[in-house]
Every structure is written in C-alpha cells, then in structure tokens.
Amino acid sequence: MLPTIPRLNRRLAATIASLATSLFLIAGPAQAQQYVSIKGSSVNVRETPSTRSATLWELSDGYPLRVTQRKGNWLKVRDYEEPLGWVYAPLTSKTPHMVVTARTANLRAGPSQKHRVVGKLEQHEVVRTLKKSGTWAHVQREGGQKGWMARSLAWGW
C-alpha cells in the first residue's frame, strides 16, 4: 500500500528537518562570522591562494579581517570596505582588533560620553580590543595607551 500524500509530505518534511539540523551541527550557524587579525609587521594579501600570486595589498600588525572562505592554509578575507583577497592563515591571529572607520574617535576614560577624553584616534588606526561593554569597546593603542571608544566608530571584533 502506498502512503497517502499528506503522510508522504510529513515524512519528507521530517527528513528535510533532520538533514537541516545535521548540517547546522556540522557547519555551525550560517551567520557565524569568523574574524582574524594580521600577525606580523607586513603581510601580503594575494589575488589567489598562492605565494606565486600577485600581491594586492600589504597589511600591518593587528589589522582586522573577516574570513569569507577557506582553502587549505589560505583564507579569503575582506575588511569593512570590500573583499581584499587571500592571506596565508599562519600569518593571522585570533587576537581581536578594530580599525577606526570614522574620521576621528574619542578615546575616553570610561564606557560613556560622560567620561573625559584621554586621546583621539585617527581614521584607519588599528587598536587591540581588550573587552566590550554594550556599545563601547575598551581598546589599546600600539603605544600602550588604553581607553574606551564607541564601537560604532570602528570595525572589527
């Protein structure tokens, strides 16, 4: 005896749901974004995943990148503006950094506009992210100065 159409649809729906759950557990959430930062004073971003490929960009220590694809030991990356190319994974780190996207950003003594300004960050300046609190990030500049900045004025993690 053949199953009725409604029963077949329920079985098909259950099978699809089971497969979707399995894929979710294997691959992780589709929205999960992986970030890395540059490890080293100067790292080449290449056109293709090969050291023989043309260099498109040179990035400095700490520059944050979002990974869009993996191929062996290579990562296809982008920044806050556009896709950039490929970087060799061992030249990256999991240390969180942000790049200032606003023209300037106040570095404050605490996580609100009520706190005094302790410095000014310039556009494209890279800072290490120490912790986050709501819409604020506690960051450290290359020279060691620490302070809080509004997260909306930077990109990274």
* CATH, domain range 97-156: 2.30.30.40
* Mean pLDDT to the nearest integer, 113-141: 98
Q: Please name the residues in contact with 92: beta carbons below 8 A apart, sequence gap of 6 or more.
A: 36, 37, 38, 39, 43, 65, 75
* Residue 120 identity (one-letter amino acid): K
Yes or no: say if 77 and 91 are a contact pair by the CB < 8 Å rule.
Answer: no
Q: What was the pLDDT predicted at 11?
A: 55
11-50 pLDDT, tens digit per residue, is 544 544 444 444 443 444 445 789 999 999 999 999 999 9
59-102 pLDDT, tens digit per residue, is 999 999 999 999 999 999 999 999 999 999 999 999 999 999 99
Q: What was the pLDDT predicted at 10?
A: 53
Yes or no: say if 86 and 53 are a contact pair by the CB < 8 Å rule.
Answer: yes
Yes or no: say if 144 and 127 are a contact pair by the CB < 8 Å rule.
Answer: no
Q: What was the pLDDT predicted at 33?
A: 87
| Residues facing residue 111 across a β-bridge | none
Counting every residue, how long is the chain? 157
The model's pTM: 0.78
Q: Where in the chain are the domains? A: 34-93, 97-156
- Same fold across 34-93 and 97-156: yes
Yes or no: say if 128 and 107 are a contact pair by the CB < 8 Å rule.
Answer: no
Q: How far, in Å, CA of 116 to CA of 145, rounded? A: 14
> Is residue 8 predicted with pLDDT exceeding 70?
no
Strands (E), 1-157: 34-38, 43-46, 55-59, 64-71, 74-78, 83-88, 92-93, 97-100, 104-108, 117-122, 126-133, 136-140, 146-150, 154-156
Q: What was the pLDDT predicted at 69?
A: 98
Q: What was the pLDDT predicted at 50?
A: 97
Give CATH superfamily name and number for 34-93. Answer: SH3 Domains (2.30.30.40)
First to last CA, the chain: 58
